[in-house]
Amino acid sequence: MADADCARRYVPVFASAAFAMTLADRADGESAMSRIAMAVEYDGSGYSGWQYQKHARSVQECLEQAVAVVADHPIRVHCAGRTDSGVHALGQVVHFDTPVHRRERSWILGTNANLPESIAVRWAMRVQPDFHARFSATGRHYRYLILCQPTRSALWVNRAVWTHRRLDVIPMREAARALVGCHDFTSFRALACQAKSPVRTIRYLQIERRGLLIELRVGADGFLHHMVRNLAGVLMAIGRGDAEVDWTRTLLDQRNRALGGVTAPPQGLYLARIDYPKQFGLPLEDDASHLFMF
């Protein structure tokens, strides 16, 4: 089912006791609107990205179709961050409004039963009406994986970006220090980026080598379009020795995307976690660190 076309309608799965709607699910009536938040994990391979597109397979469309089966009415979901084609998510957060009442377990299991294997709901909960998956977020965290070995890997394809060149993490770490803090990241955003301001605050940018894999971890108050992939592209060039350590500082000063080098491929990028104020009571996320114990 992982490679199935989401454009077709999935057969609703409620036959087993695990997915059946109980009387308690409907006991409170179905008139008042409720806002439901979900954390979603997905393999972005084979999707056109998060956002719905008329003639392409998207994560949003698949999720909306699956939730609609559980809700028994059309659903529109809003996400914390729209990921590009090929980009993965460990902790994407979404919300939607519905007049029906379901147990949290029913939202999770019922939705997962109608999703392709490459998308899964991790948790679901009712939230207060002023919660918004995107606009309530206070921070976002990404990871970028680079596989360094002489030949390509069959197992890591679409899970990490492969390079046959050895990367030196010492100059990469030194170059990354200049990027931490509040800066104008014009040189690191896509030319088509529609954000009103190029100023963002990077809270941390860590680079770790784990055997043949190099992991970039970055957290910020927000990111511009292609910002993480452009950061990765610059740091990889420095790690290869194709650019000097001070290139990151120079790019910040130049504020010119045309001078910013190559955008790294999407396959190694993971949306790891979204931060929200404690008042919303969302589950504390660990950005699925257990999945990265190589």
The CATH number covering residue 158 comes to 3.30.70.660
Catalytic option among 84, 97, 221, 275: 84
214 is a domain residue: yes
Same domain, 123 and 149: no
Contact of 65 with 72, CB cutoff 8 Å: no
CA distance 111 to 114: 5
DSSP 20: P
Angle at 24 between CA 19 and CA 25, to 5 degrees: 55
H or E element that contains 25: helix 23-26
Give pLDDT, residue 104: 96
Contact of 104 with 75, CB cutoff 8 Å: no
pLDDT (tens digit per residue) in 198-242 = 999 999 999 999 999 999 999 999 999 999 999 999 999 999 999
Same domain, 86 and 119: yes
Q: Which residues of the chain have pLDDT under 70?
A: 1-31, 285-294
Structural domains in the chain (count): 2
Rounding to the nearest 10 degrees, give the CA dihedral for residues 271, 289, 146, 222: 30
Same domain, 76 and 143: no
Q: With left for phi above 0 and alpha for psi between -120 and 50, is residue 206 left, alpha or beta?
A: beta
Contacts of residue 131, defined as CB under 8 A and 6 or more positions apart, other chains included, come to 35, 37, 95, 276, 280
Same domain, 128 and 240: no
- Residue 89 pairs with which residues in a beta bridge? 42, 271
Same domain, 54 and 88: yes
201 is a domain residue: yes
11 is a domain residue: no
Give pLDDT, residue 292: 56
Output b/e per residue, 177-210; b: 16+ Cβ within 10 A.
ebbbeebebbbbbbeebeeeebebebeebebeee
108 is a domain residue: yes
H or E element that contains 120: strand 119-127
- Count of CB atoms within 10 A of residue 286's CB? 11
Same domain, 174 and 124: no
- Count of CB atoms within 10 A of residue 222's CB? 16
Among candidate residues 102, 136, 170, the one where a domain is terminated: 136
Same domain, 159 and 77: no
Give pLDDT, residue 17: 38
Contact of 88 with 44, CB cutoff 8 Å: yes
283 is a domain residue: no
The CATH number covering residue 127 comes to 3.30.70.580
DSSP 138: -
124 is a domain residue: yes
255 is a domain residue: yes
pTM of this structure: 0.88
Give pLDDT, residue 261: 87
2 is a domain residue: no
CA distance 264 to 248: 15
- Provide the 3-class DSSP secondary structure of residue 29: coil
Same domain, 209 and 117: no
Largest Cα span, the chain: 65
Give pLDDT, residue 11: 46
41: nearest Cα among 1, 10, 83, 8: 83
Which sign, positive or negative, has the C-alpha torsion 266, 203, 173, 208?
negative
Give pLDDT, residue 291: 59
Contact of 125 with 204, CB cutoff 8 Å: no
Please indicate whether residue 287 is annotated as part of the active site.
Answer: no
Same domain, 152 and 260: yes
Full residue range of the structural domain in which residue 217 is found: 139-271
Give pLDDT, residue 54: 86
Same domain, 145 and 119: no
Same domain, 267 and 145: yes
Give pLDDT, residue 288: 56
Same domain, 151 and 228: yes
